[in-house]
Structure 1
Amino acid sequence: MRNLWNLLVRYHIAVVFVILQGIALTWFIGSHGYPRGRWVQLSLEWQGEWNQRLSQWQRLSDLDDLNRELLAENAVLRADLHSARGDAIQSAYQGAEVIRCTWKSTSNQIILNKGTKHGVRTGQGILQANRIVGRVIEASENYALALPLINSSIEWSVRIGATGPVARLVWEGGDVSRAMIYDVPRSTLISPGDSILSSGFQGYFSPGLLVGSVANEAPDFDGQFLNVPISLAVDFRAIRYVQITAIQGQVEIDTLSNRRGHNAP
């Protein structure tokens, strides 16, 4: 209390000035029509601007919630669609949000807001609207770490078209919208725009999912093979919502494969 009193004594002139200014402003606004009208206009303008911003933030929040709901619904519908079509390889899907994605390095990573308590495990694939994004390499209780296509340390098995040959996809750094596929037989007929699809051989994805398309550039000749530049289907600089896919029976397949590998002569 003593400190408050000492503070008031020290700054009493400023305090009195502020009080008198407030009284004068109140009297001026109350006794003059135009200034009062102008004050009301300014107040309405400020309140309107503030309310508009609040409304925009609320709409963005509502859209964010709606996107999450649609993501979960799409995951269920996609699983039902594969089941109804009688696909040979059945997959389960769940939605996730990208909370971090790097694209300026050669060792880019993605972090998702789903972890082991949501059923996420190492080796599961990541999709965006049936387009391949990457695969999970580590999972904690609440989060998952994934390697995207735009990571130069990993290769991907792809197929040219629905019935074409299988090849290796590698991202070598630089442009995050481009990659290369290698080991394409020289006799393969390739045209710009041809689809590059998942082969399904690595176990991360079902076959036939879109990876990208052949770029409008001439392939490089490497002996009996072609090196073909492609355009990736996913925009990694704008990615936000994805689906985590789990191939049914994959754990059993991996266990069998590992067991055979250990017992091989």
Structure 2
Amino acid sequence: MQRIFLFLYKIRAFLLFVLLEVIAIWMIASNNSQQGAAFFNSSNQFIGAILSAQNDVVEYFSLSSVNKSLVDKNAELLAELEKLRQPADSVFIELDSLLSSTFQFKGAKVINNSLRLTQNHLTINKGSNHGIKQGMGVFNEEGVVGRVKSVSKNYASIISLLHTELLISSKIKSNDVFGSTKWDGKNSKLAKLMYVPRHVVVEVGDKIVTSGYNAVFPEGIPIGTVIEIKPGPETNYLDITIELATDFSKISYVYLVENFQQQELDSLYQSTGVNYEQ
């Protein structure tokens, strides 16, 4: 502390000069309208630039909360869209207007993700306290991501589409032919569309989407695009390679979809011994 006082004492003349200059400038600006206007305009521009930079910094650090609110809002809009997409009957039934939508959507942030394993998983920052349940389908704005495997109070583990044991019930959008999408454990950008018969006409560029023939995903969520078709080796099915719609190396936020009728469908399939893809 003594050194600081000694340093200030040594430069006392300079500090006095600066103080007198500030007083002089203030007096000139206060007593002369022309110089005052120029001074205050300049100072306003300087302060405005500082405030603008400060605002940019604040906005940058608030992007996370902004993204979270956008994901939650999009989840609400997806639920509304699903209501509008309910297939219309040829005859209007008044009771239909009282039925609620089959699906409900929630948003969450991905906090962990693996890519290099043969059985990859993701972790999200929401769990049972937020209404997340085992078996819910998971997707993002690009396409299918996976399915919820296990849930704790505040977190959930998701089986990634990049998992060699996960099958997704799929269809070719152009002709409604059904199949199953499965990852072969090799390239994280590619997967196989299985069980499509050889007589089916499939073309490069065909879009693959969820079929809606299960209790997990609504119909029409993107899965990928056909990039290669070959005759299957010694089988009656085509060997179809698709490029996945979802870039798993850049997943930040996801949507989770709950089918209110899933438990009923699971019980029905279990009682009849039916095995179906998710």
TM-score computed with the length of structure 1 as normaliser: 0.76
Partner secondary structure for residue 65 of structure 2: helix
Per-residue CA deviations over 1:82-128 (Å, capped at 9, x if unaligned) read: 11232487211011111111112222111111111211111100111
Pairwise CA distance, 1:232:
0.6
Match of residue 15 from structure 2: 30
Q: Which moved more, 1:56-65 or 1:185-194?
A: 56-65
3-state SS in 2 of match to 1:149: strand
1:126 aligned partner: 138
Give the gaps of 5 or more residues in structure 1.
Answer: 1-14, 37-47
| Aligned residue number for residue 136 of structure 1 | 148
Identity %: 28
Cα distance change of structure 1 residues 184 and 23 upon mapping to structure 2, 3 Å threshold: farther
- After alignment, is 93-102 or 153-162 more displaced? 153-162
* Matching residue of 2:225: 213
Which amino acid in 1 is paired with 2:218? S
Report if aligned partners of 2:209, 2:223 keep a CA contact under 8 Å in 1.
yes
Alpha-carbon distance between aligned partners in 1 of 2:239 and 2:185, rounded to the nearest angstrom: 16
Distance 1:253 1:102, change over 3 A: same
Q: CA deviation at 1:153?
A: 2.8
Q: Which residue of 1 aligns with 2:67?
A: 67
Q: For residue 20 of structure 1, report the CA deviation from its aligned partner.
A: 4.2
Residue in 2 aligned with 1:44? none
Cα distance change, pair 225–27 in 1 and its aligned pair in 2 (3 A): same
Residues 165, 185 of structure 1: 8 Å contact kept: no
Post-superposition CA distance 1:115-152 (Å, at most 9, x none): 11211111100111272111101011111110111122
Residue type of the partner of 2:153?
E
1:196 matched to 2:238? The reply is no
> Secondary structure of 2:196's match?
strand
- Do residues 256 (structure 1) and 268 (structure 2) align? yes
Give yes or no for the alignment of 1:94 onto 2:118. no
Deviation at 1:50, TM superposition (A): 9.7
Q: Letter of the aligned partner of 2:251 in structure 1?
A: I
The 2-side partners of 1:133 and 1:191 are apart by 24
Say whether 1:84 aligns with 2:84. Answer: yes
Quickly say closer, same or farther: Cα 1:29–1:84, change in 2 above 3 A: same
Aligned 8 A contact 2:215 2:261 in 1: no
Q: 1:85 to 1:157 in 2, by over 3 A?
A: closer
Residues in 2 aligned to 1:234 and 1:124: alpha-carbon distance in whole angstroms? 18
3-state secondary structure, aligned to 1:253? helix
Q: CA deviation at 1:162?
A: 5.2
Q: What value does the CA root-mean-square deviation take over the aligned residues?
A: 3.0
Q: Does 1:227 align with 2:212?
A: no
CA deviation map 1:224-251 (0-9, x unaligned): 2211111111111111111110112111
Query: 2-side partners of 1:118 and 1:69: how far apart?
Result: 15
Q: Is the 8 A contact 2:198 2:231 kept in 1?
A: no
Paired position in structure 2 for 1:12: none
Match of 2:123 in 1: 111
SS of 2:62's equivalent in the other structure is: helix
Query: Cα 1:22–1:101, aligned 2, differ >3 Å: closer, same or farther?
Result: farther
Tell whether the 8 Å contact from 1:212 to 1:233 is kept in structure 2 after alignment.
yes
Q: Counterpart of 1:175 in 2: which secondary structure?
A: coil
The separation in 2 between residues aligned to 1:230 and 1:91, in whole angstroms, is 27
